[in-house]
Amino acid sequence: SGLKALSGYRFIKNELMRRLREQQYLAGATIPGEVELAAEFGVARATVNRALRELSEDGILERKRHSGTKVATLRTRHAKLEIPLIRTEIESSGATYGYNLVAREERSAPDWLIKRLALSELQKLLYLQCLHSASGQPHILECRWINLKTVPQALSADFENNNPNEWLVNQMPFTTAEFSFSAECLSRKDAKHLNAKAGEASFIAERITWLESNSVTFAKMAFRPGYKMLTRI
Amino acid sequence: SGLKALSGYRFIKNELMRRLREQQYLAGATIPGEVELAAEFGVARATVNRALRELSEDGILERKRHSGTKVATLRTRHAKLEIPLIRTEIESSGATYGYNLVAREERSAPDWLIKRLALSELQKLLYLQCLHSASGQPHILECRWINLKTVPQALSADFENNNPNEWLVNQMPFTTAEFSFSAECLSRKDAKHLNAKAGEASFIAERITWLESNSVTFAKMAFRPGYKMLTRI
DNA sequence: CAGTGGTCTAGACCACACA
DNA sequence: GTGTGGTCTAGACCACTGC
């Protein structure tokens, strides 16, 4: 009943996974080449190639250009993390998304931020603090710094009514980003915003966004205590 | 100097990204079909196909089988998270990996775990608590439950000298997993193990591992306060 | 019915690793 | 020099969508 009649590259991926599970190919060993597998399965080499390429993207095989394909040792798990817009995440859980601006100020960057955003020291940034809520319950407290050299139009944007992440995504849709995740105890002030107790643990997500080699923004999101970020391999 | 002479599908990806950045293709709009792009770039359709497929895997385009390719709206960022073995992570930071077993006990599963591991109520699990350290400093406190129905040989394994994750990876290399990440305040007892203060915030990673539809293990890792998990898009 | 993306094929050329 | 994986080509069939 659970059987699927896979064909083509999916079938080959499946079959190779079976052989791996059954230790027919051992960890670290070189498996047969594309030509050999193509002959064995009676398919074109391109089909085997796709199967092998995808398995190596999943971290299960390791391919080397002119040497061969090996079973990965010390397999690191590759999880695909989807980082949705906050609005999307909240609405897809069935709640109503709410937003409001807590603070807005032009400030010069603190030392730690100068390094992380590769700023010249004199630069002014736009500092925002915003609260995202789910059906009225505070959900995320966001501290954001926007590089006015890269995004000067931020100065005149209306962040009372527009969440800075969505505004930035519209202004510059194709940036790259670095993320970090950690945990912090809430300060008394932050706890108040999140309707939590001072000292409670908050899941922290930080993001630095780049346009080519120019920093765009630094954002630190403090999630309501109890929040879990989920993923699946 | 920074110029690269890309060719083939990489060139096409690059060029399409440029058009997206310059809003030549607008968010939500349908872009030209594979045949048209192949003609434009003077390449085979398979080459365009690969470029478009990869862009859609990156969440930048959305393809529908018999309808067309659109520019993704409300772009969710896709981050690739690599989850290394603890030993690997510690050693790659230049520190020496250390391990020791804190507790080992056969226990029946608590209620919350019965649900999450889809156990029958009567089942006994192996409960382990272990400490991972980096150059002598406590790094992660791990609480682990192993399903003895799926992995009976765990009962006789030597977890004094073998870290349960590595042992399990050897026993059953090709499992699937669910992850969650969150934050918790350390209990007095856990804090002591981690050489931290009670109440400090700890980054928590939980993992449930499955072999087909059988649960293998539940692990909860409490990281030393201050730890950050990094990733990049 | 025309056009789409998904997939496969049989062939090809390449640069390099390894012996 | 042989074999490897990486890539490309020109052609094909398919199932389905949207007209």
> pLDDT tens across A22-78, in order?
889 988 899 999 999 999 999 999 999 999 999 999 889 999 989 999 998 877 777
DSSP string, A107-149: EEPPHHHHHHHT--TT-EEEEEEEEEEETTEEEEEEEEEEETT
Of A148, A61, A72, A67, whose CA–CA distance to A107 is shortest?
A148
Asked if residue B134 lies in contact with residue B97, where contact means CB atoms within 8 angstroms, the answer is yes
**pLDDT value at position A11?**
94
Can you tell me the mean pLDDT for B50-74?
91
Average pLDDT, chain B: 90
Task: Name the 3-class secondary structure at A85.
Answer: coil
Calpha distance B161→A155 (Å, rounded): 59
CA B222: distance to chain centroid? 16
**Which protein residue's Cα is closest to nucleotide C15 at C1'?**
A66
Shortest CA–C1' contact from A47: which nucleotide? C8
Residues B17-25 have a mean pLDDT of: 89
Q: Do B76 and A84 touch (CB under 8 A)?
A: yes
Least confident segment among A1-15, A109-123, B184-198: A1-15
Nucleotide nearest to A56 (CA to C1'): D5
Q: Tell me if B81 sits within 8 A of A76, measured CB to CB.
A: no
In whole angstroms, what is the distance from residue A108 CA to residue B221 CA? 38
- Rounded Cα–Cα distance for residues B28 and A83 (Å): 19
Residues of A in contact with B204 (CB under 8 A): 183
Angle of helix A34-41 versus helix A45-57 axis, rounded to 10: 120
CA distance B213 to B150: 10
Interface check B179 vs A, CB under 8 A: yes
pLDDT at residue A2, rounded to an integer: 39
Distance CA B153, CA B176 (A): 20
| CA distance to A74, B72, B84, B134, per residue, from B89 (Å) | 11, 35, 6, 10
Gyration radius of chain B's alpha carbons: 24
| B1: pLDDT strictly greater than 70 | no
Would you say B8 and B41 are in contact if contact means Cβ atoms under 8 Å apart?
A: no
Backbone angles phi, psi at B154, to 5 degrees: -65, -30
Mean pLDDT of A151-168: 92
Asked if B46 CB < 7 A from strand D, the reply is: yes
- Residue B118 at interface with chain A, using a CB cutoff of 8 Å: no
Per-residue pLDDT for B158 more than 70?
Answer: yes
Name the residue type at position B5: A
Among A128-132, B68-72, B84-88, B220-224, which is the least confidently predicted range? B84-88
CA B153 to chain centre: 26
Cβ pair A173:B83 closer than 8 A? no
- pLDDT for the residue A5: 55
* Closest protein residue to C10 (Cα–C1'): A44
Q: What is the 8-class DSSP label of residue A201?
A: E
Cβ of residue A34 lies below 7 Å from strand D: yes
Least confident of A8-22, B80-94, B103-117, B183-197: B80-94
Rounded average pLDDT over B195-207: 95
The C-alpha atoms of residue A49 and residue A9 are separated, in whole angstroms, by 8
* pLDDT range class, residue B45, cuts 50, 70, 90: very high
Tell me what the mean pLDDT of segment A78-88 comes to. Answer: 83
pLDDT, greater one: B223 or B89: B223
Q: Among A167-181, A201-215, B212-226, which is the least confidently predicted range?
A: A167-181
Least confident piece of the model among A73-82, B123-132, B179-188: A73-82
What are the residue ranges of helices labelled H in chain A? 8-21, 34-41, 45-57, 86-92, 111-117, 164-171, 188-194
Among A178, A161, A172, residue whose Cα is nearest residue A219: A178
- Of the residues A22, A77, A85, A202, the best mutation for testing chain B's interface (the one with the most B CB atoms within 10 Å of its CB) is A77
Contact between A142 and A148 (Cβ < 8 Å)? no
The helices-and-strands tally (H runs, E runs) of chain B is 7, 11
The strand C neighbours among B residues 34-53, by Cβ under 7 Å, are 34-36, 45-46, 49, 52-53
Q: Greater confidence, B74 or B36?
A: B36
Q: Name the percent of chain B lying above pLDDT 70.
A: 97
Residue B5 has pLDDT above 80, yes or no: no
Residue A128 and residue A163 in contact, taking contact as beta carbons nearer than 8 Å: no
Judge whether residue A1 has pLDDT over 80. Answer: no
Nearest to B230 by CA among A181, A141, A217: A181
- Interface size A-B, in CB pairs within 8 Å, comes to 148
Residue B3: the pLDDT is 43
pLDDT at B113: 93
- Cβ distance B173 to A20 less than 8 Å, yes or no, reads yes
Q: Residue B172 — very low, low, confident or very high, per pLDDT cuts 50/70/90?
A: confident
Contacts with A, B 188-227, CB within 8 Å: 199-204, 223, 225-227
